[in-house]
């Protein structure tokens, strides 16, 4: 039986960079999750008879909201829902299922790399029929609906047991609970030379993968240990937990420090990697080297043809604006397209659908390809392994060889977290006001060649996104980018992205700190970061 429940709008349900993210207690307010879910059902396109995929990263509150989403789908005329067993689906696996099953879309419950648990973060994101995050037109329509909502519909009866794989019914709706790993692992086998990787591992290639107590554990156990024959113990922290073992499932040098220490130490394996809460991000390491996400994108793009799924070559590359220009140098040399988009995977969808690009990536530890419409952590790990197996070189040799061929983009991102929101917005406004007069100004040895607030016109549908980050470019190509994160849940997070290109191989062995020192100091002078945020140092450098 369908029950209609009266509700009132919440003013704060505007999706950010990647869906709606808030603290768990905020989501636990009466009707909060239901309002957003109903707005998705009302605003998103759903052809009659179509299916919806539902799953999440297993964090606290995941299973509860999935049961509610299933009951609401049954009350909103959805013909079928496809749900990951125990509510688990990594974000790329959900994207794959939407595509494979030709679903109308998917509801993904995740706050990605943000911490979990009763006081942690939670999120709801809607993906469209191509498997990718809803574009701004759709998220705007959902938001608009949240502002006028007066009731939601829910099936008055329990959702099926999420632990049992199989098909059942809830009212007129079919509920299929699926193994979350099987289809995804099968897709990976079509892209990579599993035989070659297995042989390399059998011949002594050693690796560790840190699943950070998050969703990739089951995927990594199946693919790396069972299918590729890596020894048991290769996957660390491989059992998903509701609070990620009390940690912060963000694969960077701060939050994955134990893995970094292992790779820098005397017992380092050849290759190390980690993924985040929902399995779409990745960190790549070799013995003695951390590969920046921007470099990883460039190396993967330059070598993708070594994997069977990309043997014909890649059509083009897309990167988010703050991501370093390393990939651009690969595109230029290979005469393929390069696209610069705003931050947010949703901006890659049209380019991938149109076949303009094959590989995409972001400085925020995301890389992926046209195999799904999300970034994909394990995909990046497998492509790296395929390249290592083909080239027979170490990670450091491959990266250093890449710099020698294409030049090195020294790069670092500084995050100032939980900054006072008004102060952060004033900092950005102050920068914007000065843009017009910046060109020609000198800071130490640096001279500004151009300064703007990035805006993007989608080449496929013509939609325009403005205010996507302040860029200060210096003669010689170095640059500083300032923007506010769209994924934080407390105050504001200021991100400052610093980059310097160095063509000369004789200067490729500087420390990043050394290479970027003057730019970092200049970022503070231009942005007045210390003065306006009260912070002497960033919280995280990635």
CB 485, min distance to ligand G16, A: 3
What torsion, rounded to 10 degrees, do the Cα atoms 262, 267, 272, 277 define? -40
Indicate the residue among 272 and 344 with the shorter CB distance to ligand G16.
344
Indicate the residue among 32 and 497 with the shorter CB distance to ligand G16.
497
Contact window for ligand G16 (CB under 6 A) among 31-39, 294-302, 342-350, 466-474: 342-350
Number of residues that bind ligand G16 (CB under 6 A): 17
Among 136, 362, 376, 499, binds ligand G16 (CB under 6 A): 362
Indicate the residue among 80 and 281 with the shorter CB distance to ligand G16.
281
Contact window for ligand G16 (CB under 6 A) among 147-155, 267-275, 284-292, 343-351: 343-351
Per rule CB under 6 A, is residue 344 in the interface with ligand G16? yes
Asked if 289 contacts 260 with a C-beta cutoff of 8 angstroms, the reply is: no
Residue 282: how many other CB atoms lie within 10 Å: 29
CA 140 – CA 79 distance, rounded (Å)? 25
Indicate the residue among 17 and 394 with the shorter CB distance to ligand G16.
17
Sign of CA dihedral 416, 417, 422, 428: positive
Per rule CB under 6 A, is residue 364 in the interface with ligand G16? yes
Indicate the residue among 74 and 211 with the shorter CB distance to ligand G16.
211
Per rule CB under 6 A, is residue 57 in the interface with ligand G16? no
Query: What stretches of 55-168 show up as alpha helix (H) in DSSP?
Result: 62-75, 91-100, 136-148
Interaction residues for ligand G16, span 265-294 (CB under 6 A): 280-281
Interface characters, 16-45, with ligand G16 (x: CB under 6 A): -xx---------------------------
The SS3 assignment for 384 reads helix
Per rule CB under 6 A, is residue 250 in the interface with ligand G16? no
CB 323, min distance to ligand G16, A: 9
Interaction residues for ligand G16, span 73-112 (CB under 6 A): 112
Task: Label residue 444 exposed, middle or buried (CB < 10 Å: 0-12, 13-18, 19+).
Answer: exposed
Angle at 477 between CA 476 and CA 481, to 5 degrees: 140
The SS3 assignment for 54 reads strand
Interface characters, 108-147, with ligand G16 (x: CB under 6 A): ----xx----------------------------------
Indicate the residue among 59 and 113 with the shorter CB distance to ligand G16.
113
CA 265 – CA 274 distance, rounded (Å)? 17
Is 112 a known active-site residue?
Answer: yes
**55: which strand partners?**
108
CA 467 – CA 441 distance, rounded (Å)? 22
Query: What stretches of 407-511 show up as alpha helix (H) in DSSP?
Result: 421-434
CB 513, min distance to ligand G16, A: 22
Among 249, 286, 366, 469, binds ligand G16 (CB under 6 A): 366
CB 265, min distance to ligand G16, A: 28
Interaction residues for ligand G16, span 287-326 (CB under 6 A): 320
CB 270, min distance to ligand G16, A: 27
CB 259, min distance to ligand G16, A: 18
CA 175 – CA 189 distance, rounded (Å)? 28
CA 407 vs CA 10, 146, 226, 293: distances in Å = 50, 48, 38, 16
Indicate the residue among 95 and 320 with the shorter CB distance to ligand G16.
320
CB 437, min distance to ligand G16, A: 27
**Structure tokens, 489:** 């849940």
Indicate the residue among 80 and 471 with the shorter CB distance to ligand G16.
471
Asked if 487 contacts 18 with a C-beta cutoff of 8 angstroms, the reply is: yes
Indicate the residue among 146 and 320 with the shorter CB distance to ligand G16.
320
Contact window for ligand G16 (CB under 6 A) among 326-334, 398-406, 451-459, 479-487: 479-487
Query: What stretches of 392-511 show up as alpha helix (H) in DSSP?
Result: 395-406, 421-434
CA 244 – CA 212 distance, rounded (Å)? 7
For 87-99, letters b (16+ CB in 10 Å) and e give: bbbbbbbbbbbbb
Task: Label residue 392 exposed, middle or buried (CB < 10 Å: 0-12, 13-18, 19+).
Answer: exposed
CA 123 – CA 392 distance, rounded (Å)? 41
CB 495, min distance to ligand G16, A: 6
Choosing from 18, 95, 112, 369, the catalytic residue is 112
Asked if 389 contacts 205 with a C-beta cutoff of 8 angstroms, the reply is: yes
Asked if 327 contacts 117 with a C-beta cutoff of 8 angstroms, the reply is: no
DSSP H or E segment with residue 367:
strand 366-369
Among 101, 414, 495, 532, binds ligand G16 (CB under 6 A): 495
Contact window for ligand G16 (CB under 6 A) among 51-59, 236-244, 337-345, 522-530: 337-345
Among 60, 271, 345, 454, binds ligand G16 (CB under 6 A): 345
Binding footprint of ligand G16 on the chain (CB under 6 A):
17-18, 112-113, 280-281, 320, 343-345, 362, 364, 366, 485-487, 495
Active site residues: 112
């Amino acid at each position: 039986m369908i029950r209609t429940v009266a509700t009132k709008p919440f003013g704060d349900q505007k999706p950010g960079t990647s869906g709606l993210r808030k603290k768990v207690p905020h989501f636990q307010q009466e009707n909060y999750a239901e309002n957003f879910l109903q707005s998705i059902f009302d605003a998103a396109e759903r052809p009659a008879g179509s299916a919806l995929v539902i799953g999440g990263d297993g964090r606290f509150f995941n299973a509860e909201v999935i049961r509610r989403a299933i009951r609401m789908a049954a009350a909103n005329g959805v013909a079928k829902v496809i749900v990951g067993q125990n509510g688990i689906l990594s974000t790329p696996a959900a994207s794959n299922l939407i595509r494979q099953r030709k679903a109308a879309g998917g509801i993904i419950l995740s706050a990605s790399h943000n911490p979990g648990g009763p006081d942690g973060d939670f999120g709801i994101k809607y993906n469209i029929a191509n498997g990718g995050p809803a574009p701004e037109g759709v998220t705007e329509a959902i938001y608009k609906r949240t502002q006028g909502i007066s009731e939601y519909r829910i099936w008055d009866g329990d959702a099926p047991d999420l632990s049992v794989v199989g098909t059942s019914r809830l009212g007129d709706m079919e509920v299929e609970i699926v193994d979350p790993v099987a289809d995804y692992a099968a897709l990976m086998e079509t892209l990579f030379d599993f035989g070659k990787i297995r042989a390399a591992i059998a011949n002594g290639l050693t690796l560790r993968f840190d699943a950070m107590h998050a969703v990739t554990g089951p995927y990594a156990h199946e693919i790396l240990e069972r299918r590729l024959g890596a020894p048991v113990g290769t996957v660390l922290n491989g059992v998903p937990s509701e609070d990620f073992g009390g940690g912060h499932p963000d694969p960077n040098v701060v939050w994955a420090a134990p893995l970094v220490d292992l790779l820098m130490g005397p017992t380092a394996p050849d290759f190390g990697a980690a993924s985040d809460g929902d399995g779409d991000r990745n960190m790549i390491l070799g013995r003695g080297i951390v590969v920046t996400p921007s470099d990883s994108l460039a190396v993967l793009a330059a070598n993708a043809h070594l994997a069977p799924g990309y043997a014909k070559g890649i059509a083009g590359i897309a990167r988010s604006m703050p991501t370093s220009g390393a990939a651009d140098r690969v595109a230029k040399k290979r005469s393929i397209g390069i696209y610069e988009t705003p931050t947010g995977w949703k901006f890659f969808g049209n380019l991938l659908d149109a076949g303009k690009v094959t590989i995409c990536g972001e400085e925020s530890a995301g890389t992926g390809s046209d195999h799904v419409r999300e970034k994909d952590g394990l995909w990046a790990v497998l492509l790296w392994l395929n390249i290592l197996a083909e080239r027979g070189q170490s990670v450091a040799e491959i990266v250093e060889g890449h710099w020698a061929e294409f030049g090195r983009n020294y790069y670092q991102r500084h995050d100032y977290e939980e900054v006072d929101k008004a102060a952060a917005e004033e900092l950005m406004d102050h920068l914007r006001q000065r843009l017009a007069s910046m060109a020609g100004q000198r800071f130490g040895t640096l001279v500004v060649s151009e300064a703007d607030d990035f805006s993007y016109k989608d080449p496929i549908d013509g939609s325009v996104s403005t205010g996507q980050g302040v860029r200060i470019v210096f003669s010689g190509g170095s640059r500083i980018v300032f923007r506010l994160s769209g994924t934080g849940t407390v105050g504001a997070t200021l991100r400052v992205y610093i980059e310097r290109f160095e063509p000369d191989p004789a200067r490729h062995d500087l420390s990043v700190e050394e290479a970027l020192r003057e730019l970092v100091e200049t970022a503070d002078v231009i942005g007045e970061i210390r003065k306006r945020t009260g912070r002497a140092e960033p919280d995280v450098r990635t």
